[in-house]
Structure 1
Amino acid sequence: MPTTIEVNKQSVETLLGSGKSKPFVIPEYQRPYAWTVEQVETLFEDLWEFTAISGGTERESSYFLGSVVSYENENGEQEIIDGQQRITSLFLLLRAIYTKLVATAISERTAEANNFIGKIEPTIWRTNKLTGTVDFKNILLNSRVVNNDGNEILRSILETGNADENAKDNYSKNYRYFQELFDKHSKENPLMVYQFIYALLNQAILLPIKADTQDTALTIFSTLNDRGLLLSDADIFKAKIYNQLEQDAKKAFIERWKELDEQATDANESIQQLFYYNMFYYRALDKDTKTTTPGVRKYYAANKFERLYKPELLDTLFVILNLWKVVNKGEELEGEDWSKNKKIRQTLDTLTSYPNEFWKYPVVIYYVCYRNEVNFEKRFALFLNKLLMELMTKYLMTPTINAVKPDILKLDSAIVVSIVPAFEFKVIDMPQLEPYIQNPNRNTVRMLLKTLAYEHQDDLLPAKWEIEHIFPQKWQTNYFTKESDSTIKEKIEHIGNKLPFEKKLNIVAGNGYFKKKKKEYATSKIGITNAMGTSDVMDWNVDSIMKRDIRVSDEVVKILNRWNNEYLNIPVDEDKAELPSEEDLARIEEFKKKGWI
């Protein structure tokens, strides 16, 4: 069916009044009400200034408040996807005004006050169609934000008109401030009060965008919203899982979700990203090797969110997160020796410099599948080296995502079958790589330098390091008399002219020539850079770059060849007396026949 979107600008009175037949709902996956008193003040003062300038009822001008994106859910409610902050604030403002108007004794009320009391009531509460009697408990706005105490606070304020003087939540603070602002302006300019209420109800305009489905509404929201954090798929997933749980399980789920969120944030990840990684794990289990990557929400929504309701889902997300605690933060995991293995951590660090994220999915899947195996640490190290070797060689020669995407998806599916999965990547003759290593694509330089550096040291590179050009990028044109500027410019970007260098030392070294920078190299804690500083080399020129090009490319090819050959020839752990399984031996023979080892 075609997508249906209804757009029709409406006054505050008309839009909020539509809640009589279709109440407004702030759904579970929304974030809590977050407007500050500063934003509340801006809204009030802008509307007051608009009233003063427009002349109130005398002119039919309008003040645009923004859009509201919603859709009608299965309960006949207007589920707000975008605009909950604005709508909630308008309800609070109207309630503050209503409280002030009805506080005046009936005998002292003006005709205007009685008129606007009658106008405001059907924008906040359901009223009897025949008598006009207000049902103060039947509020037209209901917040269902998961695990949010503010839901009850908002309901109480709108029902009673009272807010706790000591409460620190945004609902209470903003409601009290609306009352203060209205009192202040009423005393300073009493003649304009009713003009202001009229302008708020009739001249303040909203643009409701009503979609036919939640997906359509979320798409519109993502397209329109550039003012802050967008709703993530994870927000939707949290609400979906929460709603299908038994009541006694909901509290435990929320506490666990909060813990996952906090730990993910601390590890520089997000729950949204964890769901994305898990999608590739589930796809591997289903042998899904399609190169088209589905949207996360669409993927989990299939079969009525069947995958989302798997009982082990949250456990798996925590497991995936543990991997990224090591990769992103260098944490050591209790009971997981691999996380202390310096060579594994070096390889993972090198993989983080791969130019796209396709390396992550097989690493996640391998870890989730085999982390509890006896020989995991050894096999994981060999698997990571093999993966890096395959990715690096392919990207050096064809620097695009498509160079490895199909092969990665095949590898994902192979991993869940065997702890020694087949890498069905195109075989590359290693000597062909040498020119690509010597004059590499700029996206591969950091990966190459890490590979080279970690061959000569056990420690990780410092967090802040830069690519150092041994011969500076800015040189005096008379420095070389026999070389053209174009030749020098090209050679400067070769791998033979580059080193990893601590950022602070690089700043000190500046754009000086080799003799001046050499003493800074000697203070570096990066092995290959320090070696350059303590070497007998006294000058650096184009010839030096070309010679080092050959040395570096030879060494990198040697490393890659070693990783490739070691992958299946796993040494026996004498303490555990583990021998290769029959499956391993058969796979070794298969790989030999195909020329992969």
Structure 2
Amino acid sequence: MALSLRAEQKNITDLFNSGEDIYVIPEYQRPYSWNKDTTYQLYSDITSHFLDNEDYFVGNIIMARGQEERKRPNIVDGQQRLITLWIWIKVLTVLHPNKSRINRLLTVESLLSDNILPRIDSKVFEHDDQQNIEDVKSFTKDDFEKEWNDKVNSKGDISEQKTSRIEANALYLYKWMKEFYENLGNDKKKCEDFLQYFLEKVYLLPIELGGNDINEASDRALAIFETLNNRGQLLEDSDIFKARLYKSAKQDGKENEFIEQWLDFNSVCSELHMTVDELFRYYYHILRAEEGQTTNEGSLREYLTKDSNSALSVKPYKNIVDDLSNITNILQWMSAPSKMDKKIARYVQLLGQYTNQYPRYALVNYLFVEGFEDKFKLERFLRAIVRYYYYRGATLQVKYETYRINKLVANHQNIPKYDCSDIEPEYFNHLGFLRNGYALLAHYLLYKDSYEENIFFDKIVFSRDSKYLDDDWKNVDVEDIKNNIANIVVLDMPKKTLNIPAKATYYSKSELKDVRSIFAEGVIYQYARFCKREKRLKNALMAFFKDIES
């Protein structure tokens, strides 16, 4: 099938003066997101090129044009720069009120009605981008001045809580252009030279893909979009996934339902301080486990979308959305350990202290397959994987065993009883990036009925504390023991930078017996007490790792 591609460089006038064309930002696209810094970079580039008398190329715009609505091409890529340039045109109409024809670039007058519509029609459902465009379209010079004075702070910034990014960038561009014209001496000719430069010497490359209908055209445009993304454009994988899922939902007549579900995914991910891409990464590991894959991971995007056999092409839309909903439920459960059984909560918390995400991939996969109901089985699984991951230490090499764990779980098979019996006490002398995790593990091993919802970590002795140490420390290199298991303490209150006497007072306020006992015999810390603590913690850890019973 021919690609039906057309690409022709256009200046801003050509792009925004294209008859009755209205550029549609489809529902599946991201909201407008350019911030002050990004907008300023474009402003700086264009004004600098003007001063150097050089043309400026903004970048590509990829659009899809179907036969049935030829006047409403869909923007697949480039909406951020397109909207920003539209905003800039609006600012110039205000600064050049005698150039009334520029206003025609902002709107479209329908031949079949009296409607005057913005040149851009955003259907994005996460934000009210279209309403914001409409608002900015109506701004007068007095509106710009008033809004700037009302919303800018002493640092020259506009809070996003007070206004949309579209309006904020309109105000910034208005302020910057006023200053730029002032630097030109408000010379009428120089200002009009810039206007002409902006409209005629600033270029874009619209890449247009056609089709019998908008769906066919969009498929072709997305193919180009994905190819360009492979070559380095900074685009989120989830944008492509959203486009594919939205298309499937639309075919089933469920597009409105999908919009609500996608907004829910965004909301949950935001609450969990993660991206939607990360949500799909969990799904990726679940799907790989179902297929029995234990080889190295490839590109998430390629795995989910590359060909007709990929997950987003093969699985029914409803199944995928249900799976993602299940994963978000699991992640929400994992983020609230205080509501779990104490034993399970402790293990979940320990997995959260691990230095990479692989233990969490294993747990999410387990809960996806087995559910939450059998608490005994879940606790046994958690104990086994905590022992394995902490035994291996902080390393990415655990990913290969994670693949195998996930495959076994997907087939409802038991994971192995890991033999960690060769671990030695000396292992805990110089703990690396997992030192906090080991300290928490030792704490829970010694205080089996405890669960600390809010935890902090501190070191008891620092090099600066030598004058507060007992004489029996004189042959001890404090640097050598600073990451020893006995020097790491789990706190139930925030860590503070204190010397040992102040720390002793502070620790005495803790509700944890272990913390209060550290300086129980005074503020002069004895090496004998350190050694006693070290032996007790190491013995607890050694018993845990050498016990191969699950």
Q: TM-score, normalised by structure 1?
A: 0.67
User: Letter of the aligned partner of 1:468 in structure 2?
Assistant: K
Match in the other structure for 2:405? 411
CA distance in 2, matches of 1:232, 1:201: 31
User: Letter of the aligned partner of 1:494 in structure 2?
Assistant: N
Match in the other structure for 1:387? 385
CA distance in 2, matches of 1:424, 1:481: 43
Match in the other structure for 1:428? 420
User: Letter of the aligned partner of 1:555 in structure 2?
Assistant: A
SS in 1 for 2:491: strand
CA distance in 1, matches of 2:510, 2:353: 21
CA distance in 2, matches of 1:326, 1:244: 29
Give the alignment of 1:48-447 within 5 angstroms.
61-62=53-54, 64=56, 67-71=58-62, 73=64, 79-82=75-78, 84-94=79-89, 117=101, 143-146=122-125, 150-151=129-130, 194-204=192-202, 213-219=224-230, 222-223=233-234, 231-246=235-250, 248-290=253-295, 292-304=296-308, 305-306=312-313, 309-330=316-337, 332=339, 339=340, 341-371=341-371, 373=373, 376-395=374-393, 399-402=394-397, 404-418=398-412, 421-423=414-416, 427-430=419-422, 432-437=423-428, 439-447=429-437
User: Runs of 5+ in structure 2 lacking a partner?
Assistant: 1-5, 68-72, 148-162, 209-220
CA apart distance, 1:393: 1.1
Contact 2:35 2:169 in 1 (8 A): yes
CA distance in 2, matches of 1:38, 1:355: 32
- Cα distance 1:436–1:473, how it changes in 2: closer, same or farther (>3 A)? farther
Q: Percent identity of the aligned residues?
A: 17
User: Letter of the aligned partner of 1:202 in structure 2?
Assistant: E
User: Letter of the aligned partner of 2:388 in structure 1?
Assistant: E
1:491 aligns with 2:481: yes
Contact 2:269 2:276 in 1 (8 A): yes
- Cα distance 1:63–1:558, how it changes in 2: closer, same or farther (>3 A)? same
CA distance in 1, matches of 2:544, 2:350: 13
RMSD of aligned residue pairs (Cα, Å): 5.0
User: Letter of the aligned partner of 2:488 in structure 1?
Assistant: K
Rg comparison, structure with higher value: 1
Contact 1:70 1:217 in 2 (8 A): no
CA apart distance, 1:61: 1.1
- Cα distance 1:518–1:192, how it changes in 2: closer, same or farther (>3 A)? closer
CA distance in 2, matches of 1:547, 1:177: 63
Contact 1:411 1:424 in 2 (8 A): no
User: Letter of the aligned partner of 1:449 in structure 2?
Assistant: A
CA apart distance, 1:352: 0.9
Identify the range of structure 1 (91-100 vs 41-50) with the bigger mean alpha-carbon deviation: 41-50
CA distance in 2, matches of 1:477, 1:550: 22
CA distance in 2, matches of 1:177, 1:504: 40
SS in 1 for 2:354: coil
User: Letter of the aligned partner of 1:299 in structure 2?
Assistant: Y
Match in the other structure for 2:443? 453
- Cα distance 1:69–1:144, how it changes in 2: closer, same or farther (>3 A)? farther
CA distance in 2, matches of 1:366, 1:29: 31
Contact 1:24 1:79 in 2 (8 A): yes
User: Letter of the aligned partner of 1:559 in structure 2?
Assistant: F
Match in the other structure for 2:499? 511
**What are the Cα deviations for residues 451-473 of structure 1, in whole angstroms up to 9, with x where unaligned?**
11113154433535122224755
Contact 2:470 2:526 in 1 (8 A): no
Match in the other structure for 2:536? 551
User: Letter of the aligned partner of 1:451 in structure 2?
Assistant: L
CA apart distance, 1:180: 12
SS in 1 for 2:434: helix
Select which of 456, 462, 467 maps to 1:465: 456
Contact 1:67 1:208 in 2 (8 A): no
Match in the other structure for 1:31? 30
CA apart distance, 1:497: 2.9
- Cα distance 1:23–1:528, how it changes in 2: closer, same or farther (>3 A)? same
CA apart distance, 1:441: 2.8
Match in the other structure for 1:529? 515
**What are the Cα deviations for residues 145-199 of structure 1, in whole angstroms up to 9, with x where unaligned?**
3466644885x899xx76899x9877689889999999999xx876666434312
CA distance in 2, matches of 1:407, 1:7: 49
- Cα distance 1:40–1:217, how it changes in 2: closer, same or farther (>3 A)? closer
SS in 2 for 1:245: helix
- Cα distance 1:348–1:264, how it changes in 2: closer, same or farther (>3 A)? same
User: Letter of the aligned partner of 2:395 in structure 1?
Assistant: T
Contact 2:61 2:204 in 1 (8 A): no
SS in 2 for 1:68: strand
Contact 1:24 1:142 in 2 (8 A): yes
User: Runs of 5+ in structure 1 lacking a partner?
Assistant: 1-5, 55-59, 105-112, 224-230, 333-338, 568-597
Q: TM-score, normalised by structure 2?
A: 0.72
User: Letter of the aligned partner of 1:199 in structure 2?
Assistant: Y
Contact 1:24 1:141 in 2 (8 A): yes
CA apart distance, 1:392: 1.0
CA apart distance, 1:539: 4.5
Contact 1:121 1:127 in 2 (8 A): no
